[in-house]
Amino acid sequence: MSAMDQDTGMFKVQQTIGSVLCCKCGVPMPPNAANMCVNCLRSEVDITEGLQKSIQIFYCPECGCYLQPPKTWIKAQWESKELLTFCIKRLKNLNKVKLKNAEFVWTEPHSKRIKVKLTVQAEVLNGAVLEQSYPVEYTVRDNLCESCSRFQANPDQWVASVQLRQHVSHRRTFFYLEQLILRHDAASRAIRIQQVDQGIDFFFGNKSHANSFIEFLRKVVPIEYRQDQQLVSHDVKSSLYNYKYTYSVKICPICREDLICLPSKVASGLGNLGPLVVCTKVSDNITILDPRTLRCAFLDARQYFRSGFRSALTSRQLVKYFVFDVEAPVGEATVGGQKYALSYVQIARESDIGKMFYVQTHLGHILKSGDQALGYDIYSANVNDDEMEKYRLSVKNGLPEAILIKKCYDEQRERKKGKPRAFTTKKLPMEMDESRGARVDPEKMENEYEEFLRDLEENPELRFNISLYKNKDYQESETASMTDGEGAPTVPIEELLAELELSEEEEEGNDEEDMDE
């Protein structure tokens, strides 16, 4: 059936709205609830009565923040959405009317006035809803916010400082820590970082920042710390005390590749681990390996600092050995992800090739005859360690003549001497401590840093937690170590991160370097 409009069945007459005269001015208009034309209604009723039309706000010219009393400072740009929200929030009584629209009216930026035009709606008379817009003027007054004024008074103002110290003669740990901190952004909130003789000082503006930094440190190195505070000022009326907090953090002095003679108590506590042990890894635990039995033990910070033993020989005292003969391994073990093989080797010191030693070593899996190795020369060393002396006297066969620690790649490095590495590292913005006199020898620092970089190349597990960046200047050399049998270990290119360069693209090395043991 075709299209007869079937609605609800009701026949509706079309209703045209007539017009009436406005009761005030007589102009014809469609009828509304007030029966007055809009102009007359506007002249009768002012819905903006009682609303704030001018108000004062405070602005900090240093950091560009506006004050929301009593204490919050809100950062906002000139004529931004945040500023508009802030301005509207400052108006009282605005909940009596409905806010329809708000916008900025242009004012000269130097005039210190902000004008906002608000459009509000409210009900008037008998149900008629009237809309009206009106301007609100804000007078901007300059007032430094608390943090800026404190900063102005004393720019170096710190509230908490962390004094990180390790009482050893080298700075390897600090180089490594520096890379770790950069990777994890742990010192991003430090106001200042200062390098001192045996450590680094970090200054923070907030006690909690210092606390979180110490928590980070605790996860990566074994530390012991104490906290002290100094009263700076005291408000008698409100009983508020302002302190400066100082955290004195000591990193344990045992480092990788150190030779340690454990005190008898500690050794027996660890299951009679041979008192001569080598430290293989330091993270939040210290891993020590007995080279004779290939047993490992872990000491965490608390355990270490309970006994507080020091290493007998450190990596400074490593001596180069030539390896003449490596016998078949008598035992193998995989400890903590690292493979070790116990075997006997014939070695001689580089300085005194005539004197041969026949010793046991845990590096049987990587040494071959003709290699060079680094180790501790216990035979001729004059060790200043009580425990070592006690052990020497107690044991009847005498101490082992040498303990090899790692393979030496000096020969291979000779070939690459002078060529830049494939990777670079970033540095923390540290100040040098000039006040203590020129104790720091720049050449020594260079050498130490070079050794640290070599360490990184040789140990993939060290690289695990740090970021290395591609060196833009490095170019693949044609006469690569492909032609020689063995190259020095380097960082494979897939481990390197490209630095964020917004302008140019960098050349990428085409081939990978071999990773050799």
Residues that bind other proteins (CB under 8 A): 13-26, 28, 31, 34-36, 125
* C-alpha neighbours within 13 Å on the C-beta side of residue 313: 24
CB of 124 to other proteins, least distance (A): 11
CB of 37 to other proteins, least distance (A): 10
Peptide bond into 70 cis (omega under 30): yes
For other proteins, the closer of residues 45 and 356 by Cβ is: 45
Name residues whose C-beta falls within 8 Å of residue 418's C-beta, 6 or more positions apart in sequence. Answer: none
User: How many residues belong to the chain?
Assistant: 517
For other proteins, the closer of residues 37 and 116 by Cβ is: 37
For other proteins, the closer of residues 26 and 336 by Cβ is: 26
Give me 66's structure tokens. Answer: 């506006």
CB of 12 to other proteins, least distance (A): 11
Buried b (16+ CB within 10 A) or exposed e, 66-84: bbeeeeebeebeeeeeebb
Residue 484 identity (one-letter amino acid): D
Give the H/E segment covering residue 175: helix 172-184
CB of 94 to other proteins, least distance (A): 29
- CB of 251 within 8 A of CB of 219? no
E strands in 125-181:
128-142, 160-165
For other proteins, the closer of residues 26 and 50 by Cβ is: 26
CB of 5 to other proteins, least distance (A): 19
For other proteins, the closer of residues 34 and 345 by Cβ is: 34
CB of 238 to other proteins, least distance (A): 60
Rounded to whole angstroms, how far apart are CA atoms 48 and 37? 19
Instruction: Classify 221 as helix, strand or coil.
Output: coil
For other proteins, the closer of residues 12 and 396 by Cβ is: 12
Give me 121's structure tokens. Answer: 């709606």
Closest residue by Cα to residue 512 from 487, 494, 498, 496? 494
For other proteins, the closer of residues 19 and 272 by Cβ is: 19
CB of 96 to other proteins, least distance (A): 23
Give me 404's structure tokens. Answer: 């090899």
For other proteins, the closer of residues 20 and 395 by Cβ is: 20
E strands in 264-422:
276-282, 285-290, 295-300, 318-326, 331-335, 338-349, 356-361, 372-377, 402-408
CB of 10 to other proteins, least distance (A): 14
